Amino acid sequence: MTDTGSIKLVRPNGSTYKYKAEHEPLAAQAGARFESRIAFAAAHVVLDPLRTAEPLTHPVIDWDATLAYREYLWSLGFGVAEAMDTAQRGMGLDWPLALELIKRSTAVANARGALLASGAGTDHLPAGKALALQDVKNAYLEQCEAIEAVGGRIILMASRALVAVARNADDYTSVYAMVLAQVRQPVILHWLGPMFDPALEGYWARSTSPRRQRTASTSSAQIARRSTASRSLCSTRTSKSPCASNFLPECGCIPATTSTMTA
């Protein structure tokens, strides 16, 4: 935004023009971190419009603007949920680029004592390849270890690969128990649900069978004992949707709506 209230935008041919806003934007008031709750803003990344020809395949991130936006969110009292789907994860932001984003954001957050947690998933596994459950475990651990190696905290994201190979609730228990047993700090368990990603349909392998419910309850108790996870986040639009709270009740899952923060 310029001093005259106009915004410089880019045409498809690369030339620029000024767009003048019709109304004055509301000015947000900076403040300290919230006291009654922890609020994470799932922030987008900022692309360089003059250097990005194919944003879904070859994005060029404007690192200064991207990190400045995180600084802005912290100034409002938010924590930042980094490298999530709202940062175009899986829609242009592949794992190597996501890790670079995590490294840069974590360094800034740690330097100023700000709250930041980053998404760890399995999105670097090759699509369409026949995978085993161990492949999913190894992929989760690879990303978790990379985030912890740069001093970051983890948001354990749902895995398309896991829902594709899992046969029952025990397979989910096996994967999550193994990963949670090896992380250094409490993690946030994050699940979007099929309304956001149809590929996650059937996640957690929820069953109405009494025998399966007993199995899930026993398995989740084992996870709670073996892990450092203290709270999990289930992002869903409806309380009727199956989520981690049905599968991992001992981990204290709290239903929540997804909130994205845009510039």
State yes or no: pLDDT of 125 exceeds 70. Answer: yes
Q: What is the mean pLDDT of the chain?
A: 80
State pTM to two decimals. 0.76
State yes or no: pLDDT of 129 exceeds 70. Answer: yes
Give the whole-angstrom CA distance, residue 196 versus residue 85. Answer: 10
Domain boundaries, the chain: 6-261
Tens-digit pLDDT profile for residues 50-75: 898 888 888 999 999 999 999 999 99
Give mean pLDDT, residues 85-102: 90
Give the whole-angstrom CA distance, residue 41 versus residue 60. Answer: 22
Q: Which helix (H) or strand (E) holds 40?
A: strand 40-43
Tens-digit pLDDT profile for residues 140-156: 999 999 999 999 999 99
Which pLDDT band holds residue 258 (cuts at 50, 70, 90)?
A: very low
In residues, how long is the chain?
263
Contacts by residues 121-128 (CB-CB < 8 Å, ≥ 24 positions apart): 121/89, 121/156, 121/157, 121/158, 121/159, 122/159, 122/160, 122/161, 122/162, 123/89, 123/90, 123/94, 123/95, 123/98, 123/160, 124/94, 124/95, 124/96, 125/161
Tens-digit pLDDT profile for residues 9-51: 888 888 888 888 777 766 767 777 777 888 899 999 999 998 9
Strand partners, 47: 61
Write down the pLDDT at residue 224.
Answer: 54
The domain made up of 6-261 is a member of CATH 3.40.50.12780:
no
Tens-digit pLDDT profile for residues 5-15: 788 888 888 88
CA atoms within 13 A on the CB side of 148: 16
